[in-house]
Amino acid sequence: MKQLLLNYLYNVGQEAGKKRETNLLSLVEWKPGAVYLDCGPADGELTIKVAKKIGTNNIYGIDRDSLYVIKAKKKGIEVKRGDLNKRFPFKDQMFDVITGIEVIEHLYDTDIFLREIYRVLKRDGYAIIGTENLASWHNIVALTLGQQPSTGPHISDYYPVGFHPLCQKQTRGVKKGKKWNTDKHINVATRKALLKLFNYHGFKIDAEKPSGFYPFGGMLSDILAQLDRSHALTILVKLRKR
């Protein structure tokens, strides 16, 4: 019974991740020839999907992982190896579109990250930021039970101390003493805190599309996430300069 429950919750999380991708693409505007920057493109798979939705081949990225840089470059992305906690290696107002999906929670300096997005974004451009929500219901339940929220902050690279089946699945087969979490979450925010931070850095909210609502899946999850955005599993916000 326990394993069935864990598998169900894991599948709900996977479903929310797919929904987030659908929501992301729905926020993208068609603008052929636009200059697009993806902050943390990883292997570039999602980056290319976004670029196709924009209608552009002018695709740039910043990633600190040298292996990801190689993989993304093979997909035609002009990726620079760099640290998103520091100044971006691009000139002012260079980009029409910027995305940062599942990135900000890994950064120790979220202010530099947002200042740099503001600096390199064109006046009529937009940015889309996506992250996990500290105030999602599964985290609230975890804290109520005295457990560490699975979304973080993560306090160990070696041991799965988060309250979530994902932690257990990720560590299966990992040898003792070997890292299972090589890119842990440092700054995990609530929706309200994140919106305030965007406001402080000169952005206005153009649109929001949350996804996931534990412990529910399917259409009910979508409805509840829209009705109660502050407790949805993931946060996805489209920003423009004020």
Residue 207: strand, helix, or coil:
strand
Asked whether the beta carbons of 176 and 144 are under 8 A apart, the reply is: no
- The answer to whether residue 64 is domain-embedded is yes
Q: What one-character DSSP code corresponds to residue 230?
A: G
- The answer to whether residue 176 is domain-embedded is no
- The answer to whether residue 164 is domain-embedded is no
Q: What is the C-alpha to C-alpha distance for residues 22 and 27, in angstroms, rounded to an integer?
A: 9
Question: pLDDT of 147-180, one tens digit each?
Answer: 888 888 888 777 767 665 555 555 554 555 566 5
Burial label for 108, CB within 10 Å (0-12, 13-18, 19+), is exposed
- The answer to whether residue 137 is domain-embedded is no
Q: What is the C-alpha to C-alpha distance for residues 141 and 135, in angstroms, rounded to an integer?
A: 10
Residues of the domain holding 33? 2-132+182-241
Q: Which is more confidently placed, 231 or 153?
A: 231
Give this prediction's pTM: 0.92
Asked whether the beta carbons of 124 and 130 are under 8 A apart, the reply is: no
Distance from chain centroid for Cα 95 = 19
- The answer to whether residue 6 is domain-embedded is yes
Q: What is the C-alpha to C-alpha distance for residues 118 and 100, in angstroms, rounded to an integer?
A: 13
Instruction: Look at the chain and report how many structural domains it folds into.
Output: 1
Show Cβ contacts of residue 46 under 8 Å, excluding neighbours closer than 6 positions.
21, 24, 38, 101
Helix axes 2-27, 218-227, angle to 10 degrees: 60
At 14 the pLDDT is: 83
- The answer to whether residue 152 is domain-embedded is no
Instruction: Tell me the CATH number at 187.
Output: 3.40.50.150
- The answer to whether residue 27 is domain-embedded is yes
Question: pLDDT of 39-98, one tens digit each?
Answer: 999 999 999 999 999 999 999 999 999 999 999 999 999 999 999 999 999 999 999 999
- The answer to whether residue 160 is domain-embedded is no
Torsions phi, psi for 239 (to 5 deg): -120, 145
At 215 the pLDDT is: 87
Does the pLDDT value for residue 10 go beyond 80?
no
At 169 the pLDDT is: 53
Residue 47 token pair: 């980056």
